[in-house]
Amino acid sequence: MPDPVYNVLFLCTGNSARSLIAETILNAEGKGRFRAFSAGSHPKGRPHPFAIDLLEKLGHDTSGLRSKSWDEFAGPGAPKMDFVFTVCDQAAAEACPIWPGQPMTAHWGVPDPAAATGTESERRLAFSEAYRMLSTRISLLLNLPIASIDRLALKRRLDDIGANQREPAR
């Protein structure tokens, strides 16, 4: 029997930077074990140009990225999510739709690079830092023995990933 493919939804308010970056990283690094999506409660309507620029410079395909509402993933016909991660504080505090299938959830807050101020270099650095944080967390997710641990232990490990940058206790 083939290994399952886990659907993952990354949520943020604007769906223009952090959640799109996470979607892109997981789709690239998940090696067919994960299928990532992203959405926002109040999508900006387009990806942030600095996010697209960074992803492309790092060799990621950005052709399919778009800013979209989480409503697309809450209705009939939407893919069933196995995991839903909020990557910004606003989305974590908002009332989320009811996700069919009761996916595992966790908050992986990352500072908003789109809100960064300063020179262009300083603002671009904020995007690089968000990428680094998300990449580290996704790497930890990819190394979890998802199929062999119980739901409560998995939830604890997912929460640990969001709480710090160290590998969660085994």
Query: Would you call 34 a catalytic residue per the annotation?
Result: no
**Residue of 81, 87, 88, 130 with catalytic role:** 88
**Residue of 28, 74, 96, 153 with catalytic role:** 96
Which residue type sits at 155? K
| 8 Å CB contact between 137 and 164 | no
At how many degrees (to 10) do helices 120-142 and 49-57 cross? 60
Query: Would you call 24 a catalytic residue per the annotation?
Result: no
Query: Would you call 135 a catalytic residue per the annotation?
Result: no
Which residues, other chains included, contact 146 with Cβ-Cβ below 8 Å and sequence gap of 6+?
6, 154
CA–CA distance, 145 with 119 (Å, rounded to integer): 42
Beta-strand runs (E) in the chain = 6-12, 34-40, 83-86, 104-107
CA–CA distance, 64 with 68 (Å, rounded to integer): 12
**Residue of 9, 11, 12, 161 with catalytic role:** 12
Distances 116 to 5, 17, 121 between C-alpha atoms, Å: 35, 12, 11
Enumerate the active-site residues. Answer: 12, 88, 96
